[in-house]
Each structure stands twice: as structure tokens, then as C-alpha cells.
Structure 1
């Protein structure tokens, strides 16, 4: 079977994939702009998805392929429970969990053969798409520091080496519209403003212990509480913040890359000759 050729039985999953991708792209836009994903955006994809799933599983049963597809069912159940627990123990946001659960339930396997072929042997459970989506999302998320380092180098942004990987400068006047955590400390004495980068170890310790960190989201939601900070950031002109890319973006990118290119894990194995 040629890449991108679609068996009739997989058409419902392809429809789900397209609708889900459009929904995820919209969710990424809202997550960046508003720092929140509207709940109502999940309703259309859920409604369409249920209809397509009924069509898909009816086709599977009618064609006699139910025994072939059965390994998908325990995998679906396992991943749905796992993603729920991620949110239950604050390891993942609610929107991220909803996205991964919908991917798992609505598009449990590849609707067509990706460019690099099916993962491993190409039979269930090895065509299980959600695992490839999650793996690709994690890999893409890990590459973000490299992306920001290159971006800072290209733009000529100057900072200690570690901070070039962890953040980027933004205008103090519009910092409340950005997405991230302030990476600098400011003091104003006798009209003179001094600044220094927060040590990376201190920043990590503060986050783990619930220490005081200034989130740009809080600046937007509680401007009265952070009035002094906002005035200082405006005087500073430029403020460094850590990147705060919502995980929904890597999930969406992982979903798209998995559908088109396949599993990055298999690609890495092939590149390394293993």
C-alpha cells in the first residue's frame, strides 16, 4: 500500500483526524492569546467523533477484522486512564489531557501509512497512533530550548549562556500579553533601577517549593496587585522571561507529524542504524 492511500474502513478515522487537528490548532491559538482553552471548542469534535467511531467500529465488525483490531481496545483504555491520572496529580493541564484523550479515542490508529511507514511491524498494537503522538510531542518539546537559543543568537539577544536556552526578552510595556515567567529581579533605589538574572537553581527551587515567581499570566489577571512590578518593567524597557509554550502546541505538532511522517522513535532508530 502506498503512503497516504486510505482504506475505506479508515475514512471515519481520517475525518476525525482532520476535525481534531483543526480543533487543536484553534485551541493553540486561544491558549497563546488568552492562556485558556474554551471548553465549548471540544463539543463539535466530540459530536462528530462519536458518529465517525460508530461508523468505524461497525465497519470493523462487518468486515470481520474485529480480532485484528482488538489489541487497540486495552491500549485505548490504558492510555485514557493514564492521561486522566496525569491531570489528577497535576502533571498535565486539563486542556492537554482532553486533547490526548480525544486523540486516543477518536483516532486510535493511523488512518493511512505515514511517509516513514508504520511503527515497528505495522500490525496492532504497533499502529497505535496516540503513543506516536505523545512521543513526538515530548521530542519536539525537548527541542524548544535549542530553538530559543538559535532565535536569541540570530536576533543578537545578550544574556548568560543558560538563559539563551531558557527564555527571551520582551518589551516591558507589553509583558502582561506574553506567556512565561519573569527571569530577572529588579530594585529601584533613589530613582536608579538595578537588575539581575534570577539564578537557575533558585528559580527551580522556588517553583518546586511554591516560592514567589512572577508569572506573566498573573500580571494580566491581577494588574492591581502587580502595579509596582508593571511600572518597573515599563521603566526597564526590556525584560527577560522564560518561554512558556503551552504543551497543547507540542501535542498538536506531535499529532500532525505523527500522521504525516510517522513515529520519531522509529526515525531515530533508523538514523542511528539500530
Structure 2
């Protein structure tokens, strides 16, 4: 037999999370309907497995229940807590919670050349293995960024944490600016908030760059539009019509009460535009209208290392446990 029926059923997570990783990279948006069928499979498979371990008659049955308890009572609250503290996005937390239900214990798959996963931890909580694998994969990404930037000649103290991009590409990029008017910052303008502002104003980044002095004047804002949630359009193009914007020079470089109409924008929209303040928006707009290239945070969603961590866990097991065992710590 290749595997237990419940473990075979759980493999639906592989294509589902593969699609989620691809979509999250492309749009940074995952529909809630993705998780419902996976949760249903998890509940069904877990109930069937629990049935085979009742009544509790031996050490294997007790270990099974302990592992299920750790997965549901430790991994799920951990994912929620990281989301609550701002360390995870909502989709990241939902992904880990779903995996905690789907894979509370190690599955076993028998192939002609061996059984997989190859390495199992002493604890034996598979969702924890996926999480530790994902963290290790995520830690490797800064190394990749550093090498990539070095090869491109982009040497900076940010070279392991971000990438330099052309300002003209920002409308289809994801992430957060690593620059403000004062130089480098780790809390720059979110590009989703920038897209929300442009759509609210009914213009484009190219138009702002062509006439920054005029656009600083809050009186230049006419009828406003729907800011949306800042997602990148499917066609990858900017919304708005630059030809309708006034040219620079119509207004002198005066001091305005609300430069760029930043306060008005945040007052009129629903929500906080990803934590944006009027000052942060103004500083971000000054950067993107005066610079040709900017440093940008990687913008790689955690779903990607989670998917890779799942694949590695199924094919090999726990990378951290294997490393610790290799150096004699376990």
C-alpha cells in the first residue's frame, strides 16, 4: 500500500499550497475560499485517524493524541499570535492553522525505493516540521539577495534585505520602500498604499513624476475615485490617465497646509492604508517623484517558504532536526 487513505487525502495540500504560493507572489491576495476545502479534508482525515486510535490502549495511541494536541494547541495559537503581533499576514496565519489541522502527525508514503519522509523528529508533529523548514528556507533568502545584489553591483547595507528597482516599475511591484527623504528606513511607504492613493486621485505615478509641484497642491485634487485595496491590476498597467493632469509650473513651490492631499486621502478612505500616516505618504511621494531608482523590501510572502517547507518535509523531513543531529546536538 502506498500510504494510509487519510495520508493520501492530505496530499491535496501540495497543489493547493503551490497555487497559493504562485498567486501570492503575483497578487499578494489569497481568497478565503481556498482554506475551506482544505480544512474540511483536515477535519475528515483527523476524525478518521482518531477513530483508529480509540480506545487508547497503548503508547502509540497516547503519542498520537499528544501530537495532535501539540499541533492544535500550540501551532494554531502560535500562528494566531504572530498574526496578532504583526509578524504574519492573515493568509500566512490561516495557512499554518490549516496545516496544523491537516498534518498533526507524520504521514508515511511508501515508494519502491523507500519510505518518506526520510527524517522524523522525536516530537513527531509534522506541522511543526513544516514551520521550522519554512523558517530555514526564509532565512536563506537574504543570502540569495546579498549574492544577487553583489553580482549586479548594488552594494549597500541593504543588499541582504532589499533590492534596487526602477521607480517606473513600482506600480506593478510589491513590498515597502526602504527609503524616505532622510535616507534609509525600515518603515517606508507600502506600495499597496501608493496604488490606493493613485487610484483615489485618479492619476498615475508617471503623471506625478511629470508634475510633482502641481500635485503637491491639495487644491489640484478634483473628483476622487475608489482607492480599492491596492492590489496590482491583472493587466499590470496603471489606472488613470496622465494626459488629463496639469503640467508642472502651474503652481509655485509654496508651502501647503496638506501637501499631496495626504490627510484628505487618509480621512476619506476606509481603513488605514496599511498603517500609512500622512507624513509617511508625503515622504514616500517625494522619493518616488524625485528618484530614478529606489531600494525596496523583497516583498516575498511567507506562503512561498511554507510551500517549500511542506515539499521538503514530505520528501525528506525536518531540516533543523537533521542539522542538529549532524552536529551532535540531538
**TM bracket, shorter-chain basis:** 0.7 to 0.9
- Offset, 1:78: 2.6
- How many Å separate the matches in 2 of 1:253 and 1:92? 17
1:166-205 equivalent positions in 2, closer than 5 A:
166-185=161-180, 198-199=183-184, 203-204=185-186
Structure 1 partner of 2:140: 143
Query: Which of these residues, 267, 271, 274, is aligned with residue 322 of structure 2?
Result: 267
- Offset, 1:68: 3.9
Query: Which of these residues, 2, 8, 15, is aligned with residue 9 of structure 2?
Result: 15
8 Å contact from structure 2 (residues 104, 125) kept in 1: yes
- How many Å separate the matches in 1 of 2:302 and 2:172? 18
Structure 2 residues without counterparts, runs of 5 or longer: 109-114, 210-287
Name the count of aligned residue pairs. 240
Query: Which of these residues, 209, 217, 230, is aligned with residue 192 of structure 2?
Result: 217
1:232-271 equivalent positions in 2, closer than 5 A:
232=209, 233=288, 236-271=291-326
1:47-126 equivalent positions in 2, closer than 5 A:
47-61=40-54, 66-75=61-70, 76-112=72-108, 114=116, 116-120=118-122, 126=123
1:168/1:157 CA distance change after superposition, 3 Å: farther
8 Å contact from structure 1 (residues 13, 53) kept in 2: no
- Offset, 1:116: 4.1
1:116/1:270 CA distance change after superposition, 3 Å: farther
TM-score, structure 1 normalization = 0.76
Q: 168-177 or 36-45: which moved more?
A: 168-177
Structure 1 partner of 2:149: 152
Superposed CA deviations along residues 174-193 of structure 1, whole A, max 9, x for unmatched, are: 2121111122347xxxxxxx
8 Å contact from structure 2 (residues 105, 126) kept in 1: yes
1:158/1:59 CA distance change after superposition, 3 Å: same
SS at structure 2 position matched to 1:180: coil
Q: 51-60 or 257-266: which moved more?
A: 51-60
- Offset, 1:119: 1.4
8 Å contact from structure 2 (residues 138, 305) kept in 1: yes
- Offset, 1:86: 2.5
- How many Å separate the matches in 1 of 2:180 and 2:63? 59
- How many Å separate the matches in 2 of 1:228 and 1:176? 9
8 Å contact from structure 2 (residues 131, 306) kept in 1: yes
- Higher percent of residues as strand: 1
1:120-135 equivalent positions in 2, closer than 5 A:
120=122, 126-135=123-132
Root mean square deviation of aligned Cα: 2.8
Structure 1 residues without counterparts, runs of 5 or longer: 121-125, 187-195, 208-212
1:59/1:158 CA distance change after superposition, 3 Å: same
- Offset, 1:115: 5.1
Query: Which of these residues, 13, 24, 43, is aligned with residue 31 of structure 1?
Result: 24
TM-score, structure 2 normalization = 0.64
- How many Å separate the matches in 2 of 1:67 and 1:169? 53
- Higher percent of residues as helix: 1
SS at structure 1 position matched to 2:74: helix
TM superposition outliers: structure 1 runs of 4+ over 6 Å:
none
